[in-house]
Structure 1
Amino acid sequence: MIGKLTGILSDKNPPQVLVDCGGVGYEVQVPMSTFYNLPTSGEKVSLLTHFVVREDAQILYGFQSAEERAAFRELIKISGVGPRTALSVLSGMNVGELSQAVTLQEAGRLIKVPGIGKKTAERLLLELKGKLGADIGASATLINDAQADILQALLALGYSDKEAAAALKALPADVGVSDGIKLALKALAR
């Protein structure tokens, strides 16, 4: 029903923002990834939205990108995953990281998100498989087995998802696992 809001950002109180559109203030729930990229209060803002009507409430969810909104919509289609859980997932990881976790079937990355247990993480991986990459065109590209092993090794060594992904991108496509790990560690040491 309401697909987009453009107006003045009146108030920011995580995870909720108030957008003044021509004198009408809309309370919008946003993931933290969107919240951190919002302008300061009093400035113009534009958010893509998803409107949820329940028996006891009408809630508007806002997103900075179409990819985030599409991921949110895929998440809430899953049995047992409501809008609040979907918002939590998108607050804990960006769409590219979520897509990569689904592609590599890494439940451990999803369990790190507050409110996501082992069973929910496994259900998310199962239900989202093949949906995020095709529908969203996420930044996580399809990677081969050697690259997946290198990524797992870097994560196991304590590097963040971003650091490991950046090191992986810098490697040649046909590199072997042991050579790839060595090259990635050299790149990360700089």
Structure 2
Amino acid sequence: MIAKLTGILDDSGPDWAVIDVGGVGYLVHASARTLAQLGNRGDRAVLHTELQVSESDMRLIGFASSGERAWFRLLTVVQGVGSKVALAILSALTVDELQRACAGGDAAMIARANGVGPKLASRIVNELKDKAGGLAGLSGGAGITAENAAIPPGSVSADAISALQNLGFKPAVAATAVAGAIEDLGEDAALGDVMRVALKRATA
């Protein structure tokens, strides 16, 4: 799976960008907020990515931070929220605003996003209210860039999330469980300890 791209911004549009990595151009769909952070054509670009595969389509989704990617994964678990709706929500709200809206049951704030009606906004808030706290530590404010908000590939967090997904847990569930485990045990915790706590959280 392609988890991260580091290259040059070759081109961009309203909801996409092409990142040139060693002469290969990757078409990446992204939120308006992420695209705004990429800068100008020719600038160095770093994107965390999620590869989505369906029967009729394969697309790469890009994010300015691991926090945004974690929220994308969580949003798309909700019935009626596909990648386009999730990106619309992430275009309208920062991950901090999204976390506060879900934790506080503020459906009206979610409904600010294009294509999100009151009924869907209420469903999102109701389903994610209890999970929002687990992603609070992954929320990135305006001053947090892709580099310093990242979960580095090969880190304990990344390995634990990957291991949980291999066990059959959905990406959003795995990310939330690992974030909670790291919060409990500390950043220097061993992989085995993180997995033990994360498994308890994921199956609770």
Match in the other structure for 2:28: 28
Matched residue, 2:99: 99
Count of residues in correspondence between the two structures = 140
Maintained 8 Å contact 1:71/1:136: no
Match runs of 1:8-87 below 5 Å: 8-87=8-87
**SS, match of residue 116 in structure 1:** coil
1:136 offset after TM fit, Å?
4.0
Using the aligned pairs only, state the percent identity.
41
Q: Which stretches in structure 2 are left out of the alignment for 5+ residues?
A: 142-204
Q: What residue in structure 2 maps to residue 112 of structure 1?
A: 112
Equivalent pair of 1:29/1:61 in contact (CA under 8 Å): yes
Query: Aligned to 1:36, what secondary structure does the other structure show?
Result: helix
Cα distance, 1:80 vs structure 2 = 1.4
The 8 Å contact of residues 29 and 60 in structure 1, kept in 2 or not, is answered as yes
Displaced runs of 4+ in structure 1, greater than 3 A? none
SS at structure 1 position matched to 2:37:
coil
C-alpha distance in 2 between matches for 1:45 and 1:81:
28
User: 2: distance between equivalents of 1:35 and 1:128?
Assistant: 26
Tell me the TM-score normalized by structure 1. 0.71
> Higher relative contact order by CA 8 Å / sep ≥ 6: 1 or 2?
2
Over alpha carbons, which structure has the higher Rg? 1
Find the aligned partners of 1:102 and 1:82 in 2 and give their Cα distance.
18
Amino acid at match of 2:31: P
